[in-house]
Structure 1
């Protein structure tokens, strides 16, 4: 007699398990050792996270723990901290602190029932994506200007002091923020550019018509003043919405739309910004193909192609499926035509990394093999990194070229880092165990290490001496020194602080930071 366990594992994973309710999956996994291993399959739970919660691994190097994360996403919490001007933290009440900023994580209340699965930070704002594909925003998209109180969200400078939902027709799949704008990709493969929350435009072009791999957007990436798309075939397109000719086209359309009262995008009483969407038919600039690249260990038989992008102020970092890290300047449409991708061997090749002074002059164990799998960037800094217990984290800048040496922080190496985020002058690294480490400048509390006036002297995030701490408490300043060594952030504050908090996503920009956290104590009580 044929038994269920006699079927090929692929058939069970692809055709049986996805149709089972979660309680049935749990019960099946309790029947014997075979089904226990099958129902714990990492790839299955990773796929189920995307299908059920709109959660992807696009911006994380996590390779395990997907089932654990699935269970916790029933009730994720959103925390924010740092500079609070322009409404960028979305908090109804700003806590009273020594330096009048928010130097520790504070829980943000978003619409009841919304499961936030991804955060992205702009210069003065946040975008949050929930499990249904809805987008919530708070702060000010263009913090360099001002809006009148009676203006709607067709104005880029109109602040949202608490989270508001964007009224978009199709579910959003991914978001990438620049300094004054954001680029999103929806479930129809449509690419949207937000210069204001109320009037996003869809870039309509044969390059993104999704009829072939060459024209199907795989991911979007925003620099400070440009947007880019990577297609599934590895082609890269860029456009500059703040520069001519797009700037002039957008300005003319805004003038025409200003005449219609219903396009002002006033928020409704239930907290929704009704987006007046429009289409911009313009051809983006296609970047040149990759140059000849050396063979790397562990590479696949497939030809090298770009699979990830990360954007700096005016430069793109690219990563291939073989682990090559490259860079190209994208300052303007005219300038980019003469640019070429530049290969960065010191960020890609294991023997080059092994010769780094940090490994040569210390007890730090160098990597025995290397494949860079993820990149991130913001403002003037980028990071290339690999996952696992022997993770390698390499930092570069907008001035990095082929012969440049990466910056390596020993505390981050071999630490199972799965995500690195960057503000203007503060940085964060997330580990697979749910710990968030921050370092860099104080940046109005963006490190999130605690109120410096209340921390013991010498503790990360605090003052170096008791004298300086007392002076700050009395006079409200000066700011404490930065933190050169990564230090762990604690979630919750005072009576609300918990030890069993698991951070699974983080975002940073400007002088602020946000994180998504699972309360493990609550999860276990619910099981």
Structure 2
């Protein structure tokens, strides 16, 4: 008689094991070498992460270690750092520092909640928990003022500590633009927030087509976009055109009903949802593309988009064969209809990457060029985008809104061959996550968004520190110099003893950064409980209903609100010493535009 172990491996992994309770699955591991091997299958544990924890890992290029992540998600920890304005860090108490912002990771506690994804907006954070709930903090639109008496029908109403959005269905993914966000729920409904109290569901016959099943939701600077499983891209603009008119009219109608002003109670925003019927714009199809050699992968029959990344007025696309494309401009509906996809060979073809000075130069420090390369992931924010491959020989290529088919990518040598699985971008700072759980940051100080430590306490001249010791000319410096070489972030600031922690997700936008980490030391959770009332010096923040007025700083003959940003993605990337704060999201609203 056939036994359990006689069943086909595919049947066990695909149709049986995913439905076995985890304790029983772990017991099965102990029965034989065969089941020990099968029960360690990475694909199996990735599926169980999705079903048990609502964790998909789509924002990273991770290919292994899912069982380890599953175990660690029993007690994940959320850390935030960077600019404090607009309530964007969600902390009830701030660590005392000698420098602007919060310059090192500080734990954000949401009791009874297991966070599985963290997404940064221009002046806010959105988090997804294992139940599909969305938690928000900061200010969705910090360019407008929100009063203590306002409800969350106002986009400028701050949430100084995390609040739960009471939505009709559980969510499975979320994306943030500068002043808005969009999410995809478990019923494949698409929701957009221009304020946290009145999200609308986008309704269109175009989205009812079986070929329009959502694959990915992605917010650009001022627009939202959707990639379908068929490879089509749809775009809509909540701040302009007909959609903006409909939203404004609906808000006027809802303002007449007091309860629809959406006042938070007991940590919950009771969202008043509505439907907006309007067809999004379908972007033109991608052009015919060349065969890519030396990808190390078998060719598929159909070439189509499998990922998109949106930023300021542009979209980056990635095909299943590793082609990187750029669509511009998506500034509004008119420009999108006239736009087209451009293939970027310098970001796609290994032979062209080999010719980059980083790999082909005469410098003795040049890196060994890759033999094969297939770009597998892309990310973007503000004015920059990243295209990268996976594995120990991972390649990280950087471009911007001005990138053309002939543009050579920007390459930071310290990021190559480091098993990078995720790269996230703020306005002027950046972070890369490795498969080994290390988070590396570089770029501008941005009110502490690098997370490398208090620059006044670091050794002068080290990454994140002031260039010289404090005193004398140092007092006139506004911020430390930009960090050129990606440097590791520690997650044990203020602890009585060093802690070994593994970062499995990171996010950045504006002038702030966040990460989800798990403890490698089993005793760490006990230590955290013991130290909870013995943390480093903290200062109380303002009450949760107060609006934070940003500081006004003289700037070039006019008064600007916020800080003067400075930094870039790395050597050779374009950017001014003092970029226009009116276009960035990290500082506060400008009193006068350039």
Shift of 1:412: 0.7
Question: Separation in 2 of the partners of 1:498 and 1:277?
Answer: 46
SS of residue matched to 1:494? coil
Asked if 1:402 is matched to 2:405, the reply is yes
Q: How does 1:455-470 map to 2 (within 5 A)?
A: 455-466=458-469, 469-470=470-471
Task: Give the corresponding residue for 1:431.
Answer: 434
Task: Give the corresponding residue for 2:513.
Answer: 513
Shift of 1:208: 1.7
Task: Give the corresponding residue for 1:8.
Answer: 8
Question: Separation in 2 of the partners of 1:183 and 1:496?
Answer: 40
Greater shift, 457-466 or 234-243, is seen at: 457-466
Residues 227-270 of structure 1 deviation map (CA, whole Å, 9 limit, x = unaligned): 1001110000111111121111110000000011111110012x
Mind listing any 5+ residue stretches in structure 2 that lack a counterpart? 527-594
Task: Give the corresponding residue for 1:47.
Answer: 47
Shift of 1:356: 0.8
Asked if 1:449 is matched to 2:452, the reply is yes
Q: How does 1:280-299 map to 2 (within 5 A)?
A: 280-297=276-293, 298-299=297-298
Asked if 1:320 is matched to 2:323, the reply is no
SS of residue matched to 1:495? coil
Question: Separation in 2 of the partners of 1:102 and 1:520?
Answer: 25
Residues 293 and 507 (structure 1 numbering): CA distance in 2 closer, same or farther, change over 3 Å? same
Task: Give the corresponding residue for 1:60.
Answer: 60
Q: How does 1:159-238 map to 2 (within 5 A)?
A: 159-209=158-208, 211-212=209-210, 214-238=211-235
Shift of 1:477: 4.8
Task: Give the corresponding residue for 1:100.
Answer: 100
Mind listing any 5+ residue stretches in structure 1 that lack a counterpart? none
Give yes or no for contact 1:491–1:497 (8 Å, CA) kept in 2. no
Shift of 1:66: 0.2
Question: Separation in 2 of the partners of 1:99 and 1:471?
Answer: 16
Give yes or no for contact 1:472–1:478 (8 Å, CA) kept in 2. no
Q: CA RMSD in A?
A: 1.5
Question: Separation in 1 of the partners of 2:497 and 2:63?
Answer: 29
Shift of 1:29: 1.3
Task: Give the corresponding residue for 1:355.
Answer: 355
SS of residue matched to 2:253? helix
Question: Separation in 1 of the partners of 2:442 and 2:40?
Answer: 35
Task: Give the corresponding residue for 1:21.
Answer: 21
Task: Give the corresponding residue for 2:372.
Answer: 369
Question: Separation in 2 of the partners of 1:53 and 1:300?
Answer: 34
Residues 474-509 of structure 1 deviation map (CA, whole Å, 9 limit, x = unaligned): x58531101000000000212256431000000000
Residues 186-221 of structure 1 deviation map (CA, whole Å, 9 limit, x = unaligned): 011111110000001111001222x51x22111111
Shift of 1:472: 8.6
Residues 449 and 253 (structure 1 numbering): CA distance in 2 closer, same or farther, change over 3 Å? same
SS of residue matched to 1:337? helix
Give yes or no for contact 2:499–2:524 (8 Å, CA) kept in 1. no
Task: Give the corresponding residue for 2:530.
Answer: none
Shift of 1:459: 1.4
Question: Separation in 2 of the partners of 1:138 and 1:84?
Answer: 12
Task: Give the corresponding residue for 2:487.
Answer: 487
Give yes or no for contact 2:300–2:321 (8 Å, CA) kept in 1. no
Q: TM-score, normalised by structure 1?
A: 0.96
Question: Separation in 1 of the partners of 2:230 and 2:524?
Answer: 43
Give yes or no for contact 1:99–1:477 (8 Å, CA) kept in 2. no
Give yes or no for contact 1:98–1:476 (8 Å, CA) kept in 2. no
Residues 153 and 470 (structure 1 numbering): CA distance in 2 closer, same or farther, change over 3 Å? same
Residues 126-185 of structure 1 deviation map (CA, whole Å, 9 limit, x = unaligned): 000001100000000001010121000000000000000000010001011000000110
Task: Give the corresponding residue for 2:385.
Answer: 382
SS of residue matched to 2:94? coil
Shift of 1:18: 2.2
Q: How does 1:234-313 map to 2 (within 5 A)?
A: 234-269=231-266, 271-297=267-293, 298-313=297-312
Question: Separation in 2 of the partners of 1:72 and 1:6?
Answer: 32
Task: Give the corresponding residue for 2:157.
Answer: 158
Give yes or no for contact 1:107–1:492 (8 Å, CA) kept in 2. no
Give yes or no for contact 2:100–2:448 (8 Å, CA) kept in 1. no
Q: State how many pairs are aligned.
A: 519
Shift of 1:20: 2.4
SS of residue matched to 1:484? strand
SS of residue matched to 2:13? helix
